[in-house]
Copies of this chain bind each other. A is one copy, B any other.
């Protein structure tokens, strides 16, 4: 029987189970398949993709394990109800968030340059040293009080012209979602003491703890942006509420 690579010659192959997962996820993302909707059965996917049952099964099983699908023996496979999926951190623009509270948002652009990834920054984006990247640093203020220091590294090839954007008028977040449609987001939340930069730019004391949100965003299977968002604890906290 033909192996995966026979189908694609020498090109880097995408595993078949991954292709099926993507197919299903795309349908959901497009709004074509809605919560509760039925997904093709394994038998139907076998026909449609010409794969074996184990392969179709693996794709659906992994989507089930990650909470995207619900499966019922004897019945079928369905798009899961996303009710329990309240994400504590929405990908919202800090500017919108501040304006939603009825306050004035202001940005101070400390730095916005094109540079080459060095030994420190290359691992953050998972690229080789020397790869062109953008590096920006912006202080966001709410009603005149600094509440977020945003330091960001962006993959050069993913967002051409990043270093020429006026970030007092728009935010990196906004620019990036247009340049590179969001595919996946990873978050890490930590409590940290402020760096020297953070202390000065956020105008806080050395003994004030900060909430650090590290946000990695992916687009087209590439890690496109790495951002460190530092918030003084006295001025900012995360909130989340959801019903089951």
Measuring CB to CB, which residues of chain A are less than 8 angstroms from any residue of chain B? 25, 29, 54, 62, 65, 85-89, 182-193, 207, 209-212, 231, 233, 237-244
Contact = CB atoms under 8 A, between A and B. Distances in A.
A239 B87 contact: no
Stoichiometry (number of copies): 2
Most buried by B among A62, A239, A241: A241
Nearest to A241: B186
Given A89-B85, A211-B189, A183 B238 contact: no
Contact of A191 (B25, B62, B185, B210): B210
B240 A87 contact: yes
A235 to B, nearest CB: 11
Nearest to A233: B191
Nearest to A239: B188
A183 B83 CA distance: 12
17 contacts: A29-B244, A54-B54, A62-B65, A85-B89, A87-B89, A88-B189, A185-B241, A186-B241, A187-B238, A189-B237, A189-B238, A189-B239, A189-B240, A191-B191, A191-B233, A193-B209, A207-B207
